[in-house]
A = this chain, B = another copy of it.
Amino acid sequence: MSDHLIGGIEPPYYTVVFTSVRTGDDEEAYAETARRMEELVRDVPGFLGHESARTPGGIGITVGYFRDEEAIAAWRADAEHQGAMRRGRADWYERYSVHVGRVERSYRFDHR
């Protein structure tokens, strides 16, 4: 598993925080769609990266990093992504929240 962290992007940029509780249904189709979305989002101009963590039996948090609002809008408008979101609401997510923030400062620490 990659333990790369996203950092060192010059502000301003945007974080899209997506927190979710899964239904646990249909694990395989979910994983396949998640992989496909990770592939697809890389083609969005202004997409800067994403990070995900999920505590077993708990919540998941995904953070998407985008250069500007246009990049976020382009990703939201993607037809295949819209299909995945519909499927997510129907089958995969018990609930979720999304928080779109404009980042004006960031910092990082590396032990080495």
Chain A residues with a Cβ under 8 A of chain B: 1-3, 5-7, 14-15, 17, 19-21, 23, 51-61, 63, 65, 89, 93-112
Q: Which of B7, B23, B59, B103 contacts A5 (CB 8 A)?
A: B59
**B56 and A51 contacting across the interface, CB-CB below 8 Å:** no
- How many copies of this chain are found per oligomer? 2
Distance in Å from the Cβ of A95 to the closest Cβ of chain B?
4
**Does the CB pair B15–A99 fall under 8 Å?**
yes
- Complex alpha-carbon distance, A109 and B95, angstroms: 5
Chain B minimum-CB-distance residue to A69: B104
Given contacts A101-B102, A101-B103, 14 further A-B contacts (CB under 8 A): A3-B21, A5-B59, A15-B15, A53-B55, A54-B55, A95-B109, A95-B112, A96-B108, A96-B109, A97-B108, A97-B109, A98-B107, A101-B104, A102-B102
